[in-house]
Amino acid sequence: MVDTLTPSQRSERMSRIRSRDTKPEIALRKALHGLGFRFRVHKTGLPGKPDLVLPKYRCVIFVHGCFWHRHPGCKVATTPKSNTGFWVEKFTRNVERDKRVSKQLEEAGWHVITVWECDLDTHAKALSTAGVLGRDLRMLLAAKSK
């Protein structure tokens, strides 16, 4: 089979495969769904391809891995001791991209919520995180309809 992807398309696809349907993301989806929220997953056409999109609330949710996206103060967000320069540069790029994407979405009128992986790593935490999110979402909707 002929591979017709350009290198950038390929790396884009690879990163999507890696980041798609991760365990914490599924835990959050299940918990939110259980609370009655309906959403789309991996809707294309939005900056940064948010993990969950709730059009009714004009809200997007990113589920971020604490290590890759540098969860502030999190014990998972360590820096490897070898090749430190490489890692620091990579982390900086990730964090900058996250900021840029959030800004683009906010400018387009979206409310952006980031959920960290460590807040979803047990069933109980996923439920309580979804509960907090649910309250925020209802408040958003109430504010919108004023």
**Which residues here bind Zn ion, judged by CB under 5 A?**
66, 71, 74, 116, 118
Of residues 110 and 116, the one with the C-beta less far from Zn ion? 116
* Closest approach of Zn ion to the CB of residue 116, in Å: 4
* Closest approach of Zn ion to the CB of residue 115, in Å: 10
Q: If 0-12 CB within 10 Å is exposed, 13-18 middle and 19+ buried, where does residue 45 land? A: exposed
Cα-based angle 130, 45, 131 (whole degrees, multiple of 5):
5
* Closest approach of Zn ion to the CB of residue 68, in Å: 11
Sign of CA dihedral 122, 101, 99, 12: positive
Of residues 30 and 125, the one with the C-beta less far from Zn ion? 125
- Are 19 and 42 contacting, i.e. CB atoms less than 8 angstroms apart? no
Of residues 49 and 71, the one with the C-beta less far from Zn ion? 71
* Closest approach of Zn ion to the CB of residue 70, in Å: 9
User: What is the DSSP track for 58-117?
Assistant: TEEEEEE-HHHHT-TT-TT----SSSHHHHHHHHHHHHHHHHHHHHHHHHTT-EEEEEEG
Of residues 112 and 120, the one with the C-beta less far from Zn ion? 120
Could you tell me which of 117, 137, 124 has the C-alpha nearest to residue 53?
A: 137
Of residues 98 and 110, the one with the C-beta less far from Zn ion? 98
* Closest approach of Zn ion to the CB of residue 37, in Å: 23
